[in-house]
Amino acid sequence: MEELAADPVVIERLPVVREALLLSASTQLRNMATIGGNILQRTRCRYFRDATVAACNKRAPGSGCAAVTGPARMHAILGADEHCIAVHASDLCVSLVALDADVHIQGTGGRRTVPLTGFHVRPGDRPDIENVLGHGEIITEVDVPLLPVGTRSGYLKVRDRASYEFALTSAAAALRVEDGVVAEARLALGGVGTVPWRAREAEEILTGAPVDDETFRAAAEAAVRDPFTVPGTEFKVELAKRTVVRILQTVSGVRS
């Protein structure tokens, strides 16, 4: 992770990737962590990770979800339902889904390529199935298309602790602005989704719209449509929207 963040092309053309990387974990961890491992990291949900908790549909399909009725803060509000609210906690993936990265997979039966946006699978009623990787398959490569020259991008991570902490909410954005109007937009959310959350509807609202707070707020509303909340995660609905507005303000230059 640390190596990728220091790559000259990433520095120059993909600030959103670099920022997502550098806001992840700690330097020591990033020195060791691989990109494949980051994409495939398991959720931090403490109900999933603590084997003494009986109810976890991800660990034991059909056993229920203790997080839905227990204290939950670092949990998902998008792509979530009463079966599972475990967050996909990767920062890197949030930036990569925004960029339409492709994942190259090698299996015993050959190679295939899937878009990262289709790689992780929403829990539905099978939270134990987390991605499309089949038995015997590994990730060999990740392709990240470069953003058109003139596009500005960035990543915002909001968390209780100033460093070394997963996101409560985060947002990756890339905007190409022409004459005060958004010509092209990419937007994805982190800390709120059961999978890295691409916000296509918000991108549609942004595209062709004037660069102003009204546009950004409308995009934010669209990005956090139909959330599933429990008492501990209710605040994340508004926080995620404000995170989106802020990153759009920053990337568009409305706010420095």
Partner 1 sequence: MTAVTGSQLVGDPVDRVDGPLKVRGAAPYPSDVRYPGMAYAALVQSTIAAGTISSIDTAEAEAAPGVLAVLTHENIPDLAEAPLTALGSPPRFPLQDDRIVHHGQHVALVVAGTSGQAAAAARLIRIGYQETPAILDIADPDAPVVTNPWGLESERGDVAAGLASADVVCDETFTIAAETNNPLGLFATVARWDGDRLVVHDSTQWPMMERRTLADVFGIPEDDVRVLVPYLGGAFGAGLRTWPHTILTALAARIVNRPVKLVLTRPQMFTSVGHRPETVQRVRLGATREGRLVALDHEGTSTIGTEEANLEPITMGTPSLYACPNVATHDRQVRLNIPNPGPMRAPGTAQGNFAIESALDELSYAVGVDPIELRLRNHAEVQPGSGLPWSSNALRECYLVGADRFGWAERSAEPRSMRDGTELVGYGMAGAAYHWYQTPCRVRISIGRDGTAHVRSAATDLGTGTYTVTTQLAAELLGLDVGRVRVEIGDSDLPPAPQSGGSGLMISLGNAVHDAAATMLQAFIDAVAGDEASPLRGRRPNEVAVHEGRIHLVADPSAGETYAEILARHGLDEITVDGEVQPQPPAGMAPAGAFAAHFVEVRVDEDLGLLRIARVVSAVDGGRILNEKTARSQITGATVMGIGMAMLEETVFDPSGRIANATFGDYLIPVNADVPTLDAVFVGEPDKSTPIGIKGLGEVGIVGVPAAIANAVHHATGRRIRSLPITMDRLL
Q: Which of the residues 119 through 178 are near partner 1 (CB under 8 A)?
A: 158, 160-165, 168
Burial 36-62 (b: 16+ CB within 10 A, else e): eebbbeebebbbbeeeebebbbbbeee
Contact of residue 210 among ligand FAD, partner 1, none (CB under 5-8 Å per partner type):
none
Q: What is the C-alpha separation between 252 and 27, in angstroms, rounded?
A: 29
Among 2, 7, 22, 40, binds ligand FAD (CB under 6 A): 40
Contact of residue 50 among partner 1, ligand FAD, none (CB under 5-8 Å per partner type):
partner 1
Residue with tokens 């961890």: 29
Q: Fill in the per-residue mask, 146 to 185: x = in contact with ligand FAD (CB under 6 A), - = not in contact.
A: --------------------x-------------------
Kindly state the number of chain residues that form the binding site for ligand FAD, as judged by CB under 6 A. Answer: 18
Q: Nearest 5 degrees, angle CA 128-CA 134-CA 135?
A: 95
Contact of residue 34 among ligand FAD, partner 1, none (CB under 5-8 Å per partner type):
ligand FAD
Among 139, 172, 187, 248, binds ligand FAD (CB under 6 A): 139
Residue partners of 174: CB distance under 8 A and separation at least 6? 16, 98, 99, 147, 151, 152, 153, 184, 185, 186, 187, 251
Q: Is the C-alpha dihedral spanning 72, 201, 101, 243 positive or negative?
A: negative
Among 36, 70, 227, 232, binds ligand FAD (CB under 6 A): 36
Q: Which of the residues 16 through 35 are near ligand FAD (CB under 6 A)?
A: 24-25, 29, 32-34
Does residue 222 bind partner 1 (CB under 8 A)? no
Among 60, 70, 218, 221, binds partner 1 (CB under 8 A): 70
Q: Is the C-alpha dihedral spanning 99, 128, 232, 46 positive or negative?
A: negative
Work out how close the CB of 59 gets to ligand FAD at its nearest, in angstroms, rounded to a whole number: 14
> What is the three-state SS of 104-124?
EEEECCEEEEEEHHHCECCCC
Residue partners of 177: CB distance under 8 A and separation at least 6? 152, 183, 211, 252, 253
For partner 1, the binding residues (CB under 8 A) are 44, 46-47, 50, 52-53, 66, 69-71, 74, 158, 160-165, 168, 235, 238-239, 242-243, 245-246, 255
For ligand FAD, the binding residues (CB under 6 A) are 24-25, 29, 32-34, 36-38, 40-41, 89-92, 138-139, 166
